Amino acid sequence: MPVIGLTGGIASGKSTVAGLLREKGALVIDADEVAREVVRPSRPALEEIRDRFGTGVLAPDGTLDRGALARLIFSDPEARRDLNAIMHPRIFEAIRDRLAVTDPDQMVFVEAALLAETYSQASQWLKLESLVVVDAPRELQVARLKEKGITGPDVSLRLAAQMESRERLAQATHVIQNAGSLDDLRSEVDRVWRELEGESFGVTDRPLH
């Protein structure tokens, strides 16, 4: 069963790509959905987040206030590192549990925003065999964030909090360019799908691009 990482910068279109991959029969595991599971009330991750960041990141019902936490970590690199140290091992463990019961003949993609930043750790946990990066021009990322209601300083903070595009692309084994129409993107996905189908997968420590 090939397990492939899927990542990209914020508002690059990786969720749209994930949907197109599902249409082609792939299983896509969304790390953000898994993250929501591991911070449910009474789970150890939520307790550690509360201990580290205070009750201000909790909603009145005791659940995680993701908006409050996001505002905190996007402006504080140390806080962001601490959150990642709490979350990443638990997310990878939960994804690995899902992989254990997955059809071995199915192509599986793990979609995660910070997969390039954590590629070494993710590979150890999940045995990733390739990394697909969705890339989009910065001006399109900004426009898409504004369409989602994220404006002003929040746009700059979120873009600045992520790895530079050139660094992310240096980790990629396959790149999907998302700078045009949906049909253009579909063609890019088709191309990469054919490349992945034609490969004899093997774990490698060296990126191909």
DSSP class of 180? S
Contact status, residue 126 vs residue 3, Cβ threshold 8 Å: yes
Structure tokens at 103: 């059809």
pLDDT at 207: 41
Exposure string for 95-112, b = 16+ CB within 10 A, e = fewer: beeebeeeeeeebbbbbb
Contact status, residue 50 vs residue 131, Cβ threshold 8 Å: no
pLDDT at 75: 81
Contact status, residue 96 vs residue 126, Cβ threshold 8 Å: yes
* Helix 66-74 / helix 153-160 crossing angle, nearest 10 deg: 70
pTM given for the model: 0.86
The band of 36, judged by pLDDT with boundaries at 50, 70 and 90, is very high
Each residue of 86-110: pLDDT tens digit?
999 999 999 999 999 999 888 999 9
Q: Order of strands, edge to edge, in the sheet holding 130-135? A: 27-30, 108-111, 3-8, 130-135, 174-177
Task: Give me the mean pLDDT over the 58-71 stretch.
Answer: 94
Neighbours of 122 (CB within 10 A): 25
Considering only CA atoms, which of 12, 34, 16, 45 is closest in space to residue 159?
12
The band of 200, judged by pLDDT with boundaries at 50, 70 and 90, is very low
- What's the distance, CA 38 to chain centroid? 16
CATH placement of domain 3-198: 3.40.50.300
- E strand segments, 67-178: 108-111, 130-135, 174-177
pLDDT at 39: 96
The band of 26, judged by pLDDT with boundaries at 50, 70 and 90, is very high
The full set of domain ranges for the chain reads: 3-198
Each residue of 124-178: pLDDT tens digit?
899 999 999 999 999 999 888 888 888 777 788 788 777 888 999 999 999 999 9
